[in-house]
Structures are given as C-alpha cells and as structure tokens.
Amino acid sequence: MSRLPRLLLLTLGVTTAGVLALAAPAAAHVTVNPSEATQGKYARLAFRVPTESDTASTTKVEVTFPTDAGLKSVSTMPVPGWTATTERSDNTVSKITWTADANAVIKPGQFQEFPVSVGPLPTNTDRLIFKALQTYSDGTVVRWIEDPGATEPEHPAPVLTLAKAAAATTPTEAAAAPVASTSTTEGSNTGVWLGALGLIAGLAGLALGTLAFLRTRQLRTPAA
C-alpha cells in the first residue's frame, strides 16, 4: 500500500476514535431532580443515585444540606428497604443519611431515587449545592462534593438552580380590571335601552299608520 492511502486510513481511524469518544455516554453522577426550583417556594426534590461499580452495590447515601440556606422544613418520603436519618444544626436540616437493608441495595447497573420535600427555598442565592457521599458494599466511598463551576469536575456535587419568582400583579393593574368590566356592562345596558326605544318607536309608527288608514276609509265611505 502506498504512503498516501496509509496516511488517509490513519487519519480516518483517529477521527473515528475521536467521534466515538465524544459520542460515548458520560459517567453517571449523583444528581438532584428536578435541577431547578423557584426562590421562596417549597419543592419536591429527588436525589438520584446510580451504581457505577461493576462488582459492588450501593449501601448508603449521605446528603449534606447547605446550612446557610435556612431550610427549616425538610421531610423525607419513605423508600422501601431504606432507613432515613435526619440531622439538624441551629434548627435547620444539615444532613440526611439513607441506609439500605440487605435486600434493598442498589446493584450494578441500577439506580435509586430518594425524594424529599424542602422549603421555603432561599431568595438570596441562585443555587444550592448538596454534597453527597456514596458508600459501596466493598467499603469504597465516592465523594460527590466538587463544585461543578464552569467546567464539570470528576465528582460534581448535585446542584439545584433557583429561579426568581414571577412578579406579582401591581395594585394599579388590579384596579384596572373592574373599570374595564364596568365599561363593558355600561355598553351592554346602553344597547338594551337603544333596542327598547327602537321597538317603542316602531310600535308608535304602526299605531299612527293604522289610525290614518281607518280615517281614510271613513272619509271614502258614502253617508247613508
């Protein structure tokens, strides 16, 4: 084979490998779903935990809550086979630990969700970072604690983005609605009155026409 075809095949091989590498699915991470909520509101969240190991199962999940968020109301939804333990600091939830029974572990190739209800969400920040620890049956502990930032690290922490609440209706806008309604009602009443006047005028014209006809008939009738 000549040098040029070999060079072309080598270039094609490298390009194909690069494309396949980009197309390969990213490693599964511990995430929070949904990933966005509204400031000042309550939200139902679920921490999704996949088992990445090919030989070990996930037996424990620990999620640390940002204490500066002031999440005073945090409740867990029962997960069959898992025991949830909540820790508090300064009257706010600081950590939840889920521990599996022997038959409820997250096996290789599987994932489990751990739902919670939280709120009210803070209004002074646009995101919350929940650091998580994932413990495997072989003793391995994966620390999902890194700030994702602009470039996703190897073990990013679950992040909840907080959107601003929709603006409330202003008093001026609220007061404008009855005015429009009153105007519509007045227009409707005016139409009714105009219709009634037209009907009366029509009946009056009919009556006058009838009287004129009768008078003309009397004039034409010869006296006896």
Q: What is the pLDDT of residue 149?
A: 81
Per domain, the residue ranges of the chain are 26-163, 168-224
| Residue that has been written with the tokens 């413990």 in this structure | 135
206: Cα within 13 Å, side-chain hemisphere: 6
Q: Within the chain, which residues score under 70 in pLDDT?
A: 1-27, 150, 168-224
Q: What is the pLDDT of residue 25?
A: 38
Q: What is the pLDDT of residue 90?
A: 85
Q: What is the pLDDT of residue 4?
A: 46
Q: What is the pLDDT of residue 174?
A: 54
Q: What is the pLDDT of residue 166?
A: 85
Q: What is the pLDDT of residue 66?
A: 93
Q: What is the pLDDT of residue 182?
A: 44
CA nearest neighbour of 143 among 46, 67, 29: 29
Terminal C-alpha separation, the chain: 138
CA nearest neighbour of 32 among 48, 13, 18: 48
* Class for the domain spanning 26-163: mainly beta
